[in-house]
Amino acid sequence: MKIAVTINEGPYQHQASDSAYLFCKAALEKGHEIRRVFFYNDGVNNASSLTEPPQDDRNIVARWSKLAEDHKLDLVVCVAAALRRGIRDENLAAGFRISGLGQLVEAGIEADRLVTFGD
């Protein structure tokens, strides 16, 4: 099954990013294809290379980067939402790219399911 994922919440204010990460990891382990992960609204904060969690906390941004590297995932950050929050190409974490809402529409069309995490 081809799955597209949307994340609308930041990495440390809401459980959405953790849940989406675990969902993607489990889906990949079961042999499903993650067509694209689209970060929208406050979800774009998952892509910031400026995030520095305490050593005893999970590094959500690094988790996404590693998952993208290991499985060749397409992690897309909404350009308008990113710019509103001061996120630009130069401070994106590894594996993320900035693009427009058309990428979300395309992923929804190409996927069998579109799963959204967060409000």
Give me the average pLDDT of each 10-residue run along the chain (119 residues). 97 94 98 98 96 90 97 98 96 97 96 97
Indicate the number of domains in the chain: 1
By residue range, what is the domain housing residue 15?
Answer: 2-117
Closest CA to 28 of 59, 60, 70: 70
Q: 119 is written with which tokens?
A: 């409000």
**Using the 8-state DSSP alphabet, how is residue 48 labeled?**
B
Active site residues per annotation: 78
pTM score of the predicted model? 0.95
What pLDDT shows up at residue 109? 97
H/E segment holding residue 113? strand 113-117
* Residue-level pLDDT at 56: 87
CATH assignment of the domain containing 83: 3.40.1260.10
Phi first, then psi, for residue 39 (nearest 5°) are -100, 125
* Residue of 108, 38, 119, 29 lying closest to 80 (CA atoms): 38
